[in-house]
Amino acid sequence: MKHCLFVLLFLLVCTGGTAFGRFTPDFSFTDLDGKIYSSTSLQNKPLVLYVGSTFCRNCKVGAPELQKAFMEYKDKGVVFLGLFYMSKRKDIEEFAEKYHLSFPVGKAKSVAKAIRVETIPEAVFISRKGEVVKRLKGKFTRQELLAALEQILQ
Domain ranges within the chain, ordered by starting residue = 2-153
Q: Which of 12-26, 62-76, 84-98 has the lowest mean pLDDT?
A: 12-26
Q: Please give the average per-residue pLDDT across 43-47, as a whole number.
A: 93
Q: What is the pLDDT of residue 18?
A: 37
Q: Which of 80-84, 92-96, 114-118 has the lowest mean pLDDT?
A: 114-118
Q: Please give the average per-residue pLDDT across 111-136, as a whole number.
A: 85
User: 22-41 b/e with 16+ CB inside 10 Å = b?
Assistant: eebeebebebeeeeebebee
Task: Classify domain 2-153 at the CATH class level.
Answer: alpha beta
Q: What is the pLDDT of residue 127?
A: 93
Q: Is residue 103 over pLDDT 90?
A: yes
Q: What is the pLDDT of residue 8?
A: 35
